Amino acid sequence: MDMDGPAMTDGFHLVVDALKLNGIDTIYGVAGIPITDLARLAQAEGLRYLGFRHEQSAGNAAAITGYLTQKPGICLTVSAPGFLNGMVALANATTNCFPMILISGSSDRSIVDLEQGDYEELDQMNAAKPFAKAAFRVNKPEDIGVGVARAIHAAVSGRPGGVYLDLTAVTLSATLDLDTASKSLVKVADPAPAQIPAPESIKLALDLLASAQRPLIILGKGAAYAQADADIRSFVEKTGIPYLPMSMAKGLLPDDHPQSAAAARSLVLGKADVVMLIGARLNWLLAHGKRPSWSGTTKFVQVDISPTEIDSNRPIVAPVVGDIKSAVAALLASLKPGLIQPSAAWLDAIAANKHKNTERMAVRLDADPNPMNFSSALSAVREALKDRPDVYVVNEGANTLDFGRNIIDMFEPRKRLDSGTWGIMGIGMGYAIGAAVVSGKPVIAIEGDSAFGFSGMEIETICRYRLPIVILVFNNGGIYHGDPVGTAPSPTGFVHDARYDTLIGAFGGVGYHVTDKSSLSKAVTDALRAGKPALINVVIDPTAGTESGHIQNLNPKMALAK
């Protein structure tokens, strides 16, 4: 001990201490001024630090960690440009209701605020605010404990989201005596308190469902996030109500569950008389609950943690505001046998429609065109994944996403991770890395060739940490489709016959090049079994995709032909 004064610590140590005290064990980031020492110290102190090639992917890994664990995922970035690179991930996390904290170092406030041109100058906290659930700045080392605590509360309580925490370089390097420092730390008690719904709201919801002839349950990723899997399944099964999973809720009940109405989606949306939304919002993904996809007379029950979600698109007759775990438990506790009875005619109509659509799909899956199209290639992947319910599936792209969502069945909760609420490209490698790191399980990333490019450099990160990630690049030569041979590059086209499989060899991973169904199935099976980084170049007919995939209705067209 220093004989001249009390024992000291500094801001760097306090940040690591505050994270550890709150059970945070993993940081994803990109090093540089002023946080290099923070990353180094975190690693030395036993946190898992994963260094990325781009902050957006580090942020996406943090976001999906939050989704999978209900604890905020942490992303660490440098000032201004690093911070902004991470912001897309933070905004996407907020939009998708994933808890994460973006921690950035920042430059000297006295210079930034006078706009005197500091190194990486930016008023980061205020820049973050419109895109984050909350944003805080810590200006003194003795406030680090409170700053971290506030960030954790904001990220995971109520509707989860992305939180920005700004740590100035001065704060990080400032010293503080150990006694004051240790008293300044805060261990958060009950960061995501249960929010019990009002008993009257439960009664109203059950009464409305009991009055229905043609009820439907829609499960959103909020329901998956809640980790109330057994109760949700029990509620669905005890009521006998058909259900529709939103894409990231696939697997909450296994996709081959007899009550799944996924293969009769248009029918059930159009004809249901009472719809119960559980952790699903009536946003664009559900056509806002409006005509023509929906009937104008549908009555809604909505189970959601956020009271301001209610009535956002359609009037909600029976809002159940509370956390989903508490709400579903309360619904189950008040459910009397026989109270809710979907009509036989409704169940028959759904069964017939499912049968018809499943047969149509089977024809497409059985086809074996050369070159492969989306359905045929995905049927080969489906075959290889049949006995691997443990595998996480990451999925992004346009056609690759739309076909992937319909063709790849999920059998376990929270195993499907995709473009989500925004339909964003670029989450692929970040989500894959986050899922592999928190679960230790294998991951398959089914990527459009355009989608893959947004985070493709992270294959080095995947190889460096030897993660069990198998990347499938659905290579149709472009955004939606490829260009005809011999034409100048269009706005959507890429290089013809690109060999994505050769990239991963640079870092020690295994590349595969496949042009037919049986080699694709075999490559997926072998690569998953090997448990090592692999990239499969899946050659798809460049004419196979449609512009905008399944959401052409959202793509405005020129009114006048040029």
Ligand X SMILES: Cc1ncc(C[n+]2csc(CCOP(=O)(O)OP(=O)(O)O)c2C)c(N)n1
Nearer to Mg ion, 409 or 449 (CB): 449
Nearer to ligand X, 157 or 247 (CB): 247
Binding residue count for ligand X, defined by CB under 6 A: 18
Assess 423 for contact with ligand X (CB under 6 A).
yes
Binding residue count for Mg ion, defined by CB under 5 A: 3
Which residues neighbour 176 within 8 Å (Cβ) at sequence distance 6 or greater?
A: 8, 9, 10, 11, 14, 141, 142, 184
Stretch that binds ligand X, among 270-278, 387-395, 445-453, 456-464 (CB under 6 A): 445-453
201-220: contacts with Mg ion (CB under 5 A): none
Q: Is 338 within 8 Å of 239 (Cβ atoms)?
A: no
- Six-digit token pair at 250? 């696939």
The sign of the torsion formed by the CA atoms of 320, 100, 414, 25 equals negative
Assess 476 for contact with ligand X (CB under 6 A).
yes
Q: Binding partner of residue 398 among Mg ion, ligand X, none, CB under 5 to 8 Å per kind? A: ligand X
91-110: contacts with ligand X (CB under 6 A): none
Stretch that binds ligand X, among 209-217, 265-273, 354-362, 473-481 (CB under 6 A): 473-481
Three-state secondary structure call for residue 146: helix
Sole binder of ligand X in the list 142, 449, 460, 501 (CB under 6 A): 449
Assess 259 for contact with Mg ion (CB under 5 A).
no
Q: Which residue is nearest to ligand X (CB)?
A: 448
Cα distances (Å, whole numbers) of residue 405 to 266, 323, 501, 533: 15, 27, 24, 23
How far is it, in rounded angstroms, from Cα 7 to Cα 101?
A: 30
| Residue found under tokens 């209701």 | 97
**Ramachandran angles phi, psi of 179, nearest 5°:** -65, -50
Q: Is 279 within 8 Å of 322 (Cβ atoms)?
A: no
Assess 483 for contact with Mg ion (CB under 5 A).
no
Sole binder of Mg ion in the list 86, 215, 319, 448 (CB under 5 A): 448
Q: Is 30 within 8 Å of 51 (Cβ atoms)?
A: yes
- Six-digit token pair at 55? 């902050």
The sign of the torsion formed by the CA atoms of 122, 124, 127, 131 equals positive
Q: Binding partner of residue 79 among Mg ion, ligand X, none, CB under 5 to 8 Å per kind? A: none
Sole binder of ligand X in the list 82, 145, 342, 397 (CB under 6 A): 397
Assess 447 for contact with Mg ion (CB under 5 A).
no
| Residue found under tokens 């960061």 | 191
Bond prior to 245 in cis (omega within 30° of 0): no
Nearer to ligand X, 160 or 448 (CB): 448
Task: Report in angstroms how near the CB of residue 406 gets to Mg ion at its nearest.
Answer: 17
Assess 424 for contact with ligand X (CB under 6 A).
yes
How far is it, in rounded angstroms, from Cα 156 to Cα 81?
A: 26
Assess 420 for contact with ligand X (CB under 6 A).
no
Q: Which residues of this protein are in contact with ligand X, per CB under 6 A?
A: 397-400, 423-426, 448-451, 474, 476, 479-480, 545, 549
